[in-house]
Amino acid sequence: MPKHPRAATARSRSIAGLLAAGSLALALSGCTSYDVTAPADARDDAPATAVKAKDANGDDVDCRKAKCVALTFDAGPSENTNRLLDILKKEKVHATFFMLGKNHIAERPAEVKRIDREGHELANHTWSHQILTDIKPAEVKRELSRVQDQVHKITGKTPKLMRPPQGRTDEQVAEISKELGLSQVLWSVTAKDYQTTDSKLITKRVLDQTEKDGIILLHDIYKGTVPAVPGILKELKKRGFTIVTVSQLLSPAAPEPGMAYRP
């Protein structure tokens, strides 16, 4: 599994490239640009009449007022997903699952159905985790559309969100995403759980980085991650956070196809 370095973007409406944390090297070359906005800006731009999201109890979630943070999981479903879903159900928390197609959605349709049935958000992390900025447009479209088709076949629903592998995107990826009705979702918090099985370290990394309107990136495919989730949720709730899906974080705005969202 390729690593997922943290992507960094500006809060402005356009961006000329993407920096990967760690190396802080420019992820894109040439003169490329794509639209990016923060969740707070998206909410501010939403019509006053827009409908707010509902939480697991059916109550309104208004992240313009609440101290919200979005919980997301990449690269599943896996053998760990049912345990994770048990935890989320017990804690009455909904998350967004950016799922891989090959060896994941294709092999675990029951988990995909359960993710949907229990009110979590279905999202796209490509079919085979290719770096979208390194492949041809037709391949990018195929990587995304195969997941769209498979998820729809399993659940009757089509994802509206996608996360580009390693957070690498550009104008071409944005245009194809827009064509497929997909918004791009980056992140502000990463535990780098692909580097460690230490659940305490994963918990610490998440809690050290989480702020209002954050988007937390975790992976339900790694051994140390799911055992860290109960402690993460307990402490976030203690600190006054409302834990939501990405779409709830953006609400009352609706995700805009092609747009990249990052705090």
Q: What ranges in the chain are assigned the alpha helix state H?
A: 39-44, 81-91, 109-117, 137-155, 171-179, 199-209, 225-238, 246-250
**Is residue 233 scored above 60 in pLDDT?**
yes
Please state whether beta strands 161-162 and 34-37 pair in parallel, antiparallel, or not at all (unpaired): unpaired
Question: Which structure tokens are listed for 10?
Answer: 């500006």
State the CB neighbour count (10 A cutoff) for residue 12. Answer: 12
Quote the CATH superfamily of domain 7-261. Answer: Glycoside hydrolase/deacetylase (3.20.20.370)
Highest mean pLDDT: which range of 3-12, 32-41, 223-232:
223-232
Q: Tens digit of pLDDT for each residue in 180-198?
A: 999 999 999 999 999 999 9
Q: Tens digit of pLDDT for each residue in 100-149?
A: 999 999 999 999 999 999 999 999 999 999 999 999 999 999 999 999 99
Q: What is the pLDDT of residue 46?
A: 85
Q: Tens digit of pLDDT for each residue in 20-77?
A: 333 223 333 334 578 899 999 999 988 765 555 655 556 678 999 999 999 999 999 9
Burial class, 207, CB count within 10 angstroms (exposed 0-12 / middle 13-18 / buried 19+): middle
Band (pLDDT 50/70/90 cuts) for residue 1 is very low
Please report, for the chain, the start and end positions of each structural domain, with discontinuous segments joined by +.
Answer: 7-261
Catalytic positions, written as ranges: 74, 219
What pTM did the predictor assign? 0.85
More confident residue, 31 or 86: 86
**Is residue 231 scored above 80 in pLDDT?**
yes
**Is residue 19 scored above 60 in pLDDT?**
no
Mean confidence (pLDDT) of the chain:
87
Average pLDDT over residues 154-163: 98
Name the percent of the chain lying above pLDDT 70. 83
More confident residue, 163 or 24: 163
Residue with tokens 């891989």: 100
